[in-house]
Chain A
Amino acid sequence: MTGAVGFPVWGTTARLLVTDPRRLDAARAALDAELTAMGAACDRFRADSELSRVNAAGGRPVEVSALFAETLRRALDVAEATGGAVDPTVGAALVAAGYDRDLAEVRGGGPAPRLVRRRVAGWRTVHLDGRVVRLPRGVLLDLGATAKALAADRAAERALADTGCGVLVGLGGDIAVGGPPPEGGWRIRVTDDHRDNGPGDAPGQDVVISAGGLATSSVTVRRWRRGDQRLHHIIDPATGIPAASCWRTASVAAATCVDANAAATAALVKGWSAGTWLVDQRLPARLVRLDGHAFALAGWPEETPVAITSGGRAG
C-alpha cells in the first residue's frame, strides 16, 4: 500500500508516492522545500530568480548560491556527456521561438517568430568558477530540464532521509525513486499520451523500476503554435531552432533522473543516431518514432500488450 499526492508545479504536475502512507506529509515537506529552493534558483520566468539575474548580468561575473552552482555544473556536465546535444545556452533560442513566458501564456498566442538557423553560443562559453558564473554578453541560460530532474533527484533523496521509506518523485516526465520500493517495484506507465499525467489509462507500456531515474522527453507536449508554425521546447543547439526529430518521444532509465532526462532529451536532438548512442552508453531506452512505432533499446523490456483493471490500487 502506498500514499500518494499530486499537485501542479512549474506548468506541469508533481506526484509524490511513499511506501508508508503515514510518512506522506513528511515526504511532501521535503519535496516542497526542494521545489521552493529550485524555483528561487533556476526558474527562468521569475524575475527574482538567480537565473534571471545571471542572464541579465551583461557579461559581468555573478556570485550564485550553492544550489544554482550545482545545477549549472550538472547542466555543463550533461552538455559535455551528450556531445553538446543538450546545452544550457539555448535560452535565447527559446525566447526567439516564443517560449518566453509560462507555457500556458505562450499557448495563448502571439506573432509568428522569425526563426534563424544559427548555432547557439555553446556550453563552453559558460564560465563557472566555484560559485561565480560569467556568461558572455547576450548569452541566456535555460536550466529547465536539468533543474527539474535535479529537483526530483534531490527531493527523493531528502524525502528518503526524512522518512526512511520508499519514495517516488515525479515532476512532469521526470521520475526519481529512492529507498526500498514497494513489493514488485514501482510500476510506471510510459506513454506519450499526455491527457493523463496520473496513474490512468493512457496507452503505452508499463515497466517496473526499483532505483534511480526514469525520464521521458517529447516534442508533443510542450508545444505551441505561432502563425502557421508548430513549435516545441526541445532546441537543437546546432541550429538554434526546435529540433526536427524523427522521434516524438524518448524514455530513458539511468542511475539518476538528471542523467535519464539528459539522455532522453539528447535522443530527440540526435535523431537517427540516438539508437547507437544510447546502446553505447548502456542506457535502456524506449524511442517512439513519429508514426508511433516504439523501439526498445539497451535492455529496455520488449513491449507486450497490457490490459489494465479498473479500480486497482496504486503502487
Chain B
Amino acid sequence: MTTSPKAPIVSVDALSVAYRSGGREVPVVREVSLEVSPGRTLALVGESGSGKSTVAATLLGHLRHGSRITGGRVAVDGKDVFALAARELRRLRGGTVAMVAQNAGHALTPSMRIGRQIAEAGGEVPVTDLLEQVRLERPRELARRYPHELSGGQQQRVAIAMAIAARPKVLVLDEPTTGLDVITQRGVLDLVGALREELGLAAVLVSHDLGVVARMADEVCVLSAGRVVEAAPTRRLFAAPADPYTRRLLASVPRIADAGLAVVGEDGMREIRPRADSAGAVDVVDVREMTIDYGASRAVDGVSFSVRRGEVLALVGESGSGKSTIAWSLAGLREPSGGTMGAASGGGAGGSSGDSSGDSSGDGSGGPSDARSGGASGGASGGSRGGLSEGASGGSRGGASGGASGGSPGGPRGGASDSPRGGSPEGASGGSRGSSPGGSRGGASVGSSGGSSGGPRGGSSEGASGGPRGSSSGGDGDLSAPARRRPLALRRTVQLVFQNADTSLNPRRSVGDAVRRPLRFFGTAGSRGEAASRARQLITDVRLEPDFADRLPAQLSGGQRQRIGIARALAGEPDLLIADEITTALDVSVQADVLCLLDDLRRERELACLFISHDLAVVRGIADRVVVLWHGVVVEEGPTDAVFAAPGHPYTKALLAAALEPDPEAEGAAAPAEEWADAAEPGALWDDLGGGHRVRRWRPTDG
C-alpha cells in the first residue's frame, strides 16, 4: 500500500440527503464530506440511523425510494455521480464502483444460478477464475448452483466475486461480515484485504463493528445522526478518540480481555463489573447426552451441560454448531431424538448438588447449598436440601410463605418438607416448583428414602437415584417433551428471548399486550387489572417507562423492542431464560445496555440464563461459564475466565484468534489454525483441567 497521497478517487463534498416522510423532509445525511485515495480504505462508522449506508450508496448514485439530495455533490473518478446520464451511470456502476451488499443471502437473486449472476456483472475475467480468486473450492460446480444452496460465508464470497468481476476502482462494502460468524468473518476480511492490495482498490467500508474497522481501515469517519463527528486516521482514532461520542462508542465495545461486564458511563469511561458469584448454586436445568436430528443429519450429538440458578451459561460456536438448535429444543420447539433434559428444581436440585460434590453424603453436600439458598426459608432446616432449595426459590418469586412452609416443617427430613408442597396450594402459586416435575418428583424420591431412614441420608440417596438423571423417568419434569405437551407450570420454567425482537413481536398489538399475554396465560396474574399492572411493572423492570405499554412495536427502537422481548419472557417467571443471540442485531451502545440489564436481572431474580452467542467478547463479559460447541459436540467447557485465559481445544483457540478487537495495534496475523482430529473415545472423552474446565480429547494431525 502506498503512503504517498494520490489524488482522491472518491470525494464527497458537503453532501446532504433528506427523506420525505408524511409530507416532511427528514434529513438523514447532513453536510458530509470525505475523500478516499486509490489503495486506501475509509471506514464509515456509526450506529443504525447514522446515515452511513446512505452515504455509501451515493457513491454508486443510488438513493433509497423517497430520498433525494438536498445539497453537496459526490464525485467518483472525476465525475459528478448525480449529474450522470442513465447510460453513464450504468457504466460507472458496472465498471468504476462496485458494491458488496450487507446480506449476501438477500443480495443474490434466488432464481438465478450464481455463475450467471457473476457473469452478468461484466468484465472479461471468467467466472471460474473469479470464484477461485475469492477462494471458493470447486468453482465449476459452484457456478451452477443457486444461492440457497450455498452457506452464508460462500454467499458473501460470491457477492465479492460479483463486485470485483468488472475490476472496479472503488469497492463499497456495506457491513460485509455482519451476519457471519467469527471464523468466516475473519476469512472474508482477509480475502477483502488481499484483493484490495492485489487490485489496488480504494475501499469504503461501512460497519458498526469497530473490531472490523480497526483491522481493515486506514481512516475512519464516525457518523452520528447524519453528521461526521470525527474523522481521523484509524490508529489515532482508536488510540485517542477526540469526540465524546466516539469515546462512548469505543468504550461500549466489549473486549475479549474484559474480566466482566463493562459498564460505560456518559463520559465514555469503562468500569468492569465483577462477576456474580453463582458457584455453589443449585442446577435449574440439566441436560444429559442430548441428541437432535434434522432428518438424517445430526445437529446435536451427545451434549451435556447444566445451568445453575443465577448463572449465565454461554453456548458458543459457529453457525451450524447446534447452539440455537439446543435452545429451541430446551424451549420445547424441537423434540430431541435422544438424551434427557430435566428442569431440575426442588428435589432435582438436591440431586445435582449431590452429583457435583461427587455423590457425597447428603449432609456434606447439603450444608453449603443451604448456606447459599437458605436465607429465605431458614438455613436451620439442615440437611433437607430438597426442601430448602425449593423454599428459597419460592421466596425469590414472592412466595415467601411457600418457602417457609417448605423449610420449617420439613426441617430434618427433606422428604417431609417436600411432600406437602407437591399438592399444597402455594406450591402451585409458587410456580414451577410445586407442580413441576423436578420439584414433586424429587420430593417423592426423597420422601420415600427420608421416610424410612431419616434426614441425613435423604440427600445421598437422592443423589444416586432421584437426581437429574432420574428426572428423565419422572415424567412431567421432562423438558424433552415439546412445549405443547408440557404441563403449564413446566412450560413456564423455560422462556426464550428471540434474536429479532422486531419480528417476534406482533406488530399489531401493543407491547403491553405482548407482556400481559403470558401473565394471563400462565395464570401468574389473576385478574385483568392485576395483569395490566404487572405488565407495567415488568416493563419498568426492564428499565423502560411504564407508558411504553401502550405503544406498538414499530414505535420502539431495536434496543427497546429487545427489552420488551425480555419482559415478555420474564412474565412467565421462568427459572431459565434462553437468550438466543439477543444482542446480535443491536448497536454496540444498545448492546451494552441490554447486556447490563440482563446481568442485573439475573442478579435480582437469581435467574439462570442460557446465553447463546457467536460473539466471544460479549460472552466474556456476561457469562460465568462457557460451553464451546463444534458440529453439535461440546469440545470445551469451563469457567469463562479459565477458558479464555487458557483455551485447551484447537477449535476454541481458532475462535479466539478469529475474534477481532477494536484495536488497530492488535496482532493481526493469527497463527495458522492447528490441524486436529477428534480423539475422544467412549470412557475417555475429556481432559480435565480442573475447576470444571475440561477439554474434549483431540490429537494434532499436521503431516
- To the question of whether A and B form a pair in one complex, the answer is no
Q: Please report A residues at the B interface, Cβ cutoff 8 Å.
A: none
